[in-house]
Amino acid sequence: MPAGSPIPPGASVTVRVPASSAHLGPGFDSIGLALGVGDECTATVTEEPGVVVHVEGEGAGEVPLDGSHLVARTMHTAWREIGAPAPAGLRLECVNAVPHGRGMGSSATAIAMGIVVAQALWAAAPGGSVVDLKAANDLAARLEGHPDNASASIFGGLTLSWSDHQGEPGTTRTVRPSLHPDLDVVVLVPHDQLSTARARSVLPSQVRLADAAANSGRAALLIHAMTSAPSLLLPATREWLHQEPRRGSYARSMALVDSLRAGGHAAVVSGAGPSVLVLTTREAAPRAAGHAGAGWRVLRPGIPPLGAHVVRSAQAPDRAHRGQTRPGHDRPD
């Protein structure tokens, strides 16, 4: 794509991106679910060179406040991807609600944020293109290494993703099945953090054929349960690939999962943990939340139908919003 004109100083956009949970039990690295807490970032092009970041909420005092911030780094990657010249100066004002290191997709949220913010600012430049969520989804999957969290944050709702050729540009595909109207979620968030890298380091390099076959059947059942038959959520969330090998890394989380499942609730470890996610119904959600003891924060965030989106833009707002996924849009692929 031709480079076009630079993004003008003063161009500013605000983008909101929801959190997400990955795997949901058997859907390892392929199934994601958006959660109704999210981060918001206002990015403004400045005449003063350099990147300045201000953070409120989650991550404040913990993340870098310059060009090494994950949102800023991803923005520059996205501009290189689309052939857009990066501006010399940039100010990011981030208000974060997604807990870090808790299995709620904070890094995927930041990556999705950076890509969509970069696209939306590029829409303000003469000759720039509009926001393209399919392209954002593909790049986010490549940067994350797997599409589950990122796809849910970009499109909202329930997402099922795959790649025609793993890691190659333009090959990530996502569909967005319609959720059963009674479906609800409870998220139990501990104080402890767990990095995704540490959680993945304990996974086995091989699995038994019988376990892989059993897991495949439950992953298929999970989509049916979430879209048509919530009464099947408990058996549908049984899995064989990742939770048991990680049990020692999040013993408290697995003890809570065991307790909830023994009580008939479809509990799983959210993403890489250590948060616990319960797939439930609106009627049963309060009972599931009641299992949390001391040291657990209870969230009932809901499942947002809208993923990453431009909240407002100081330049060419009509162009910045074109291509956005709308609530109720079920087929992003």
The string of DSSP codes covering 195-208 is -HHHHHHTS-S---
Q: What are the residue ranges spanned by the domains of the chain?
A: 12-175+305-321, 183-299
Over residues 22-31, the mean pLDDT reads: 97
Query: How far is it, in rounded angstroms, from Cα 55 to Cα 71?
Result: 11
- Please, what is the average pLDDT of the chain? 91
The β-bridge partners of 309 are 16
Please say if the pLDDT value at position 331 is more than 70.
no
Peptide bond into 274 cis (omega under 30): yes
For CA atoms 119, 120, 125, 128, the dihedral sign is positive
| Burial of residue 43 (number of CB atoms within 10 Å: 0-12, 13-18, 19+) | buried
- For the residues 300-329, what does the mean pLDDT come to? 68
Q: pLDDT tens-digit profile of 131-180?
A: 999 999 999 999 999 999 999 999 999 999 999 887 788 899 999 999 99
- As a whole number of angstroms, the distance between CA 286 and CA 290 comes to 6
Instruction: Return d(Cα 101, Cα 106) in angstroms, integer.
Output: 7
The proportion of the chain whose per-residue pLDDT surpasses 90, expressed as a percent, equals 81
The CATH class of the 12-175+305-321 domain is: alpha beta
Residues 279 and 237 sit within 8 Å (Cβ to Cβ): yes
- Confidence class for position 22, pLDDT limits 50, 70, 90: very high
Tell me the backbone φ, ψ of residue 19, rounded to 5 degrees.
-70, 180
Number of residues in the chain: 333
Residues 255-308 have pLDDT tens digits of: 999 999 999 999 999 999 999 999 999 999 999 999 998 999 999 999 999 999
Domain 183-299 has CATH 3.20.20.70: no
Which ranges in the chain belong to alpha helices (H)? 70-82, 106-122, 133-144, 148-155, 196-201, 209-227, 233-236, 251-262, 285-289, 317-321
